Amino acid sequence: MPDLETDVLVAGAGPAGLLLAAELALAGVRTTIVERLPERPPYCRGFNLNSRALDLLARRGLAEGLVAEGHRVPHAPVTGLPGPLLLDGAATGHPFSLGIPQTRVEEVLEARARELGVEILRGHDLRSFTQSADDVTTVVHNGQFGRTVRSRFLAGCDGGRSTVRKQAGIGFPGVDARWYALLGDVECELPYGPAAGPDGRSLFVIPRPGYVRIVVREDDPPSDKDTPVTLERLQAQVDAVLGRHVELRAPRWLSRFGDAARLASRYREGRVLLAGDAAHIHPPAGAIGVNVALDDAFNLGWKLAATVRGTAPEGLLDTYHAERHAAGERILANTRAQVALEEAAAEPWADLLRRVAAHPAGNRALAEIITGLDACYEPGGHPWLGRLAPDVPLLVSGVETPLPALLHSGRPVLLDLTPSGSFASWSAGVPVVAATSPSTSDVDAVLLRPDGHVAWVGTSGSGDAGLAEAVHRWVGEVPASV
């Protein structure tokens, strides 16, 4: 007999694992997280939530508090361009990047998961698993003894060196790192921004509360890239770049990263699924890491929950790979292009791209590409179809209601925008919300997936043509309550 039984076992308590677990629990699915580390690391990997991540979190009521705490920047993070990619006019309800520590984002997501009943077992290292046609049996160790966990599904959110991915036999093709950089959270007297030395090499200094983060390309990295980074190593690299000595003190975190780019060959193997860094690694250009991890989890959560509950239409879970693997390919292409742009400053094509970015329409288009705001899971047809529903102003029962608020429960919604409430009696089991909006004169109704993407659009005069097929494809049987 297993020591523990659960519906879904999630490996990894980073952003992807925490959000995925919360999404599953919201749908009434028993969920357990196992995390190798006994507590959250004291260092912070990233400090940015982009517009799309905020739009997604808003669909569960999780964005507002983070926005109130963070620092708004009206452009998208990008590498290799001389000027910012402004988000004014972009297809988002959050036309800014939010400066906020990843550690704080994880705190909010963990509180959400625990509130919904997720069990989090820290200090538990996943060692092995076997899967059958009906379940997955996983062995975890807490440093003293092992225990077995039986679950319906296993989700690997355990980072770029994912044990789950490796043991599932899922390939991780891509390109090895061509260069490595050192990252150090230290105290020093270097000012914010790039600092160049006499030979043209440069480093970057980012201010943080009480310290700075230094990023410097590593000259002659060790053959074993797992060799620990020391303060002496970072000091030597900084001195070499600047051509002078600037004392580095009190290291909080020292690390090494490269420009490797890899994408899992598949995001699902039977009852095993991957999300976040377990599914893809890429250069840090554009500060996209935590954001795409949240995107994966948000896409997977409702589909896996419906599968566990037995309400999912045939093939729904397979659409996770279809949608997010393609998104992963675009992310790898985007980040590698930014690195190439930075390295080829004098190339004609780089100058051409900069001139495109200088044009307002080109600037906005590039910003949407870099942040994933251009994501469309069903191209063609109405401009809304397959995209995250725009945050149009709504009146619901005479009350101003933001569109994301309609999705806080994690259920699909049929939004009826006709003056007479033509879809009120539509009887496919999907909750119907009657609303009016001054900016949707050509749209009669919209079927919203639980993740806020548009699954069907009814335009003026088309009635409910195609609606039944869309519900059958994306919703299947809708339970009366969770």
Per-residue model confidence as pLDDT tens digits over 23-56: 999 999 999 999 999 999 888 888 899 999 999 9
**Residue 354 burial (C-beta neighbours within 10 Å; 0-12, 13-18, 19+):** middle
Strand 432-434 to strand 261-263: parallel, antiparallel, or no bridges (unpaired)?
Answer: unpaired
**Can you give the pLDDT at residue 45?**
86
- Taking the mean position of all CA atoms in its chain, how far away is CA 362? 24
**Residue 459 burial (C-beta neighbours within 10 Å; 0-12, 13-18, 19+):** middle
**Can you give the pLDDT at residue 481?**
43
- Taking the mean position of all CA atoms in its chain, how far away is CA 66? 15
Name the pTM for this structure.
0.94
Q: What's the CA gap between 402 and 393, in Å, rounded?
A: 6
**Can you give the pLDDT at residue 478?**
52
**Can you give the pLDDT at residue 427?**
65
Q: What's the CA gap between 248 and 235, in Å, rounded?
A: 6
What confidence tens digit (pLDDT) does each residue in 130-173 have? 999 999 999 999 988 889 999 999 999 999 999 999 999 999 99
Mean pLDDT of the chain: 91
Residue 432 confidence (pLDDT) above 80: yes
**Can you give the pLDDT at residue 79?**
78
Mean pLDDT to the nearest integer, 419-442? 83
Q: Which two tokens stand for residue 239?
A: 């001195």
Q: Which two tokens stand for residue 122?
A: 């820290």
- The label of the residue with tokens 């419906």 reads 306
Q: Which two tokens stand for residue 17?
A: 């694992």
| Span of 30-39, 117-126, 343-352 with lowest mean pLDDT | 343-352
**Can you give the pLDDT at residue 82?**
74
- Residues 40 and 105 sit within 8 Å (Cβ to Cβ): no
Strand 97-99 to strand 85-86: parallel, antiparallel, or no bridges (unpaired)?
Answer: unpaired
Bridge partners for 445 per DSSP: 416, 458
**Residue 40 burial (C-beta neighbours within 10 Å; 0-12, 13-18, 19+):** middle
Mean pLDDT to the nearest integer, 238-255? 94
**Can you give the pLDDT at residue 442?**
85
- Residues 350 and 80 sit within 8 Å (Cβ to Cβ): yes
